[in-house]
Amino acid sequence: MKHKFEPGDLFLLPITAGGFALCQIVSVFKDRFKKIFSFGVMQISSSDLELELIERDYLQFENARGREQLIFTSTEKLNSGEWVIVGHVPLTPTKLTFRYFRVSYNLYCDDVLLGNLDKIKAKKYNVMAVAGFELVQSYLQQLSGNGPS
């Protein structure tokens, strides 16, 4: 069954090594990228009972591009209900800037292509690099202290 979700929704993402991540949806794509979404991790805890559904900054993790705060992945686990929506906190003005990202040197805001970027301006934007579920788990383990830092 397909579930509805929107920017600002909070969801629980179980960590395979144990614990949970409280995450917030940033972008839900409707057209060109409709099978993926972006999110930030707000909190990591050993128990879902310890998570607080309050506004907080996104945690940073390391990947091949450096330090990141935004993850792009498939909507499959949200649509199936495996990743459960547990609340909603509106995106702050700072978090709304995460809606802007690039694919190569093309700048997007959600599904809308805004134009081309030069190399210098491109560095200011997150890169849409869709992570498989195993890579998402790797980032979460890193954030929980159980993986590479």
What lies within 8 Å, CB to CB, of 100 at 6+ separation is: 107, 108, 109, 114, 125, 126
Contact between 101 and 108 under an 8 Å Cβ cutoff? The reply is yes
Q: Is the pLDDT of residue 144 over 70?
A: yes
* pLDDT value for 64: 77
pLDDT tens string 64-86: 778 899 999 999 999 999 999 99
Residue 145: half-sphere exposure toward Cβ, Cα within 13 Å: 5
d(CA 13, CA 19): 9
Average pLDDT of span 92-119: 94
Average pLDDT of span 101-111: 93
Q: Is the pLDDT of residue 148 over 60?
A: no
Amino acid found at 148: P
- The residues with which 103 forms a beta bridge, in sequence order, are 106
Q: Concatenate the DSSP letters of all residues of 64-112 into one string.
A: TTEEE--EEEESHHHHHTSSEEEEE-PPPHHHHGGGEEEETTEEEETTE
Q: Which of the residue ranges 8-22, 118-132, 134-148 would you say has the lowest mean pLDDT?
A: 134-148
Could you give the 3-state DSSP secondary structure of residue 136? Answer: helix
* pLDDT value for 49: 73
Average pLDDT of span 117-141: 92
Please, which pLDDT band fits residue 140 given cuts at 50, 70 and 90? very high
* Residue boundaries of the structural domains of the chain: 9-90+127-143
pLDDT tens string 20-46: 999 999 999 988 888 999 999 999 988
Contact between 14 and 35 under an 8 Å Cβ cutoff? The reply is no
84-88 and 100-103 strand pairing:
unpaired
Per-chain mean pLDDT for the chain = 90
* pLDDT value for 10: 96
d(CA 51, CA 42): 10
d(CA 91, CA 72): 17
